Structure 1
Amino acid sequence: MKLPRMVYNQPEVVQPVRTDVLIMSPWLAPIVWDGTYNLGILNAQYRQRKFRVGITIFAIKKYTVFVKKFIESAEKYFMVGQKVTYYIFTDRASDIPVMNLAEGRSIAVLKVPSYPRWQDVSMRRMEMIRDSSHTRFSHEVDYLVCVDVDMTFNDEVGVEILSNLFGTLHPGMFGLPRDSYTYERNPQSEAYIPADEGDFYYAGGFFGGNTEEVYKLTNFCHKAMMVDKEKNIEAVWHDESYLNRYFLYHKPTKILSPEYLWDDNFGIPAFLKRRRFLAVPKNHDEIRNRR
């Protein structure tokens, strides 16, 4: 196969592309910010291999109201031109709208039970992703992107996020010292992280990787939760607490900056050049706790 010409500006070897933010972790995982990559180069490289991306969302109880806007925004900005499957976990399959998607993109509705408390819904996500990774996802897609449904894509999110295992820096914890992170601090919990450990605080609303690595991550988190449940322990931030514990000892191979998960309640700081994935304003109590 004859490859197209690769014409672009030569990379600078003595001038960093960003000096206002960290762009590489101590274990050499790139931190993805606007200006740190050339999407044209990346797309050209990924076109040389066939791959499919799965994106998981959980539309439990009233969270089904977010599905339509979520998918509309994803069709405009998420992996445009790539093969994508939207995996929608829901207890209300009849509420999921029929939508027109671009070629090569599809919706798969996965029926799951509901739970009385939103905390239980949140924690059971790891179990459901784990089980489906083993029985279905590994046969249908190469990469999984696991995100919250009560968000909208606001700018392009493409192949620059793909890696064996990636996490996203939490916008509310960005720039804080590690002892200020809201890690689980109970030494009896499987999610426990001491005050003198930790690299970053990762958000539970945007993580992923190849199907094998996502299986390992979700399997760890679910098993750890079940151990804690036997001890009547519930981690402070539920599945997010176990995710942070996993990433401490199983370093992600790529880290997404807060551009990839932002809430405008935090304002728009100077380092934030793009807001790619935005929280939808809502009444949390109304959505979480009522049918």
Structure 2
Amino acid sequence: MVYSKPHIFKPPRTDVLTVTPWLAPIIWEGTFNLDILNEQFRQRNATIGLTVFAIKKYVVFLQRFLETAETYFMVGHRVKYYIFMDRPEAVPNITVKAGREIVPLRVQNYPRWQEISMRRMEMISHYIQQRFIHEVDFLVCVDVDMWFSDHVGVEILSEVFGTIHPAFYPSERKAFTYERRPESEAFIPQDEGDFYYAGGFFGGTAAEVYKLSKKCHEAIMADKNKSMEAIWQEESHLNKYFVYHKPTKILSPEYLWFGERYNPRFLKKKRFIEIPKNRSAIRNKRHLHVKL
């Protein structure tokens, strides 16, 4: 394999933070050589699971999600798309590449969207223990109301990783919307925390994602027993987990962005983009209009 030699005194990026104080890399365009990484993961013969929830009206996003994933997600590697659905028969008819498989999983629906959100950790941990741990090496857990617009590959994989939320990358701790009530299991004190992580993109090895999702689910249920609900449901508990269980790799906002028009200079790629939508309509019984 032919590639340019790395230079000690010529770092590829000097405009952004590329490593945390606990020595976890932060992944930006220009900080990795994809050819080298692809070869390393092919030698490991790894299979990657991608979990997504398409419950109730969120099934409307599934076709574009899968079609763009086939173009940009883990190209050249084995992938299992685990689709959590209340109506598995609604999975779109999409032909996937060799070595890739769509696996619909029937799960219970809940009346409130907040309850569906909080139950995701329970469903992920349950299926890891029952099935995923035997089928995949890594799990990537993302939101379905998104689309892949550029390469997302093995550079993201690590023991456990989180993604910097696109709304908070320049913010100080005091601006983070952590759970601030001490009574909640998701509570984070004002002087703690490193980044604000998005609940819509996290993952790692199957074993480590099991630990993460199980811990978050237990904390969610402990709050529920106290008649409490964290401010941002499972995202609040994910952030609490990452304060005390540091990610071994962090994805920059390239990997979860909220629009195509805003183009800050530091952002060289927009890899995974939120689909514009009427959140009130999709979470309730009103007619849904979504630009796909």
In structure 1, the residue corresponding to 2:239 is in which secondary structure?
helix
In structure 1, the residue corresponding to 2:44 is in which secondary structure?
coil
Matched, 1:84 2:76: no
Q: Is the 8 A contact 1:178 1:196 kept in 2?
A: yes
Q: Is the 8 A contact 1:61 1:91 kept in 2?
A: yes
Q: Is the 8 A contact 1:61 1:290 kept in 2?
A: no
1:282 and 1:262 map into 2 onto residues whose CA distance is: 14
Query: What's the counterpart of residue 166 of structure 1?
Result: 161
Note the 1:243-262 alignment, pairs <5 A: 243-262=238-257
Note the 1:129-144 alignment, pairs <5 A: 129-144=124-139
Q: Is the 8 A contact 1:259 1:274 kept in 2?
A: yes
Deviations 1:62-82 (A, max 9, x none): 000111100000000000111
Query: What's the counterpart of residue 97 of structure 1?
Result: 92
Amino acid in the other structure paired with 2:167: G
Among 228, 232, 244, which residue is 2:227 paired with?
A: 232
Deviates more, 1:96-105 or 1:204-213: 96-105
Number of equivalenced pairs: 286
Query: What's the counterpart of residue 271 of structure 1?
Result: 266
Matched, 1:24 2:24: no
Matched, 1:155 2:142: no
Among 187, 198, 208, which residue is 1:203 paired with?
A: 198
2:185 and 2:230 map into 1 onto residues whose CA distance is: 8
RMSD of equivalent CA atoms: 1.0
In structure 2, the residue corresponding to 1:48 is in which secondary structure?
helix
How far off its partner does 1:264 sit?
A: 1.2
How far off its partner does 1:266 sit?
A: 7.7
2:276 and 2:62 map into 1 onto residues whose CA distance is: 15
Matched, 1:40 2:40: no
How far off its partner does 1:58 sit?
A: 0.2
Amino acid in the other structure paired with 1:222: H
Matched, 1:69 2:82: no
Q: Is the 8 A contact 2:18 2:26 kept in 1?
A: yes
Deviations 1:200-239 (A, max 9, x none): 0000000000000000000000000000001111100000
Deviations 1:78-111 (A, max 9, x none): 0011100000001011211121000000011100
Deviations 1:241-268 (A, max 9, x none): 0000000000000000000000117821
Q: Is the 8 A contact 2:42 2:77 kept in 1?
A: no
How far off its partner does 1:290 sit?
A: 2.6
Amino acid in the other structure paired with 2:12: V
Q: Is the 8 A contact 2:51 2:81 kept in 1?
A: yes
**TM norm structure 2:** 0.96
Q: Is the 8 A contact 1:32 1:257 kept in 2?
A: yes
Q: Is the 8 A contact 1:228 1:234 kept in 2?
A: yes
Unaligned runs of 5+ in 1: 1-5
Among 185, 188, 197, which residue is 1:190 paired with?
A: 185
1:288 and 1:53 map into 2 onto residues whose CA distance is: 30
Matched, 1:8 2:32: no
Q: Is the 8 A contact 1:147 1:207 kept in 2?
A: yes
2:107 and 2:26 map into 1 onto residues whose CA distance is: 34
**TM norm structure 1:** 0.97
Q: Is the 8 A contact 2:78 2:99 kept in 1?
A: yes
Q: Moved runs in structure 1, 4+ residues, more than 3 A?
A: none
Query: What's the counterpart of residue 282 of structure 2?
Result: 287
In structure 2, the residue corresponding to 1:170 is in which secondary structure?
coil
Q: Is the 8 A contact 2:260 2:273 kept in 1?
A: no
How far off its partner does 1:139 sit?
A: 0.4
In structure 2, the residue corresponding to 1:47 is in which secondary structure?
helix
Query: What's the counterpart of residue 3 of structure 1?
Result: none
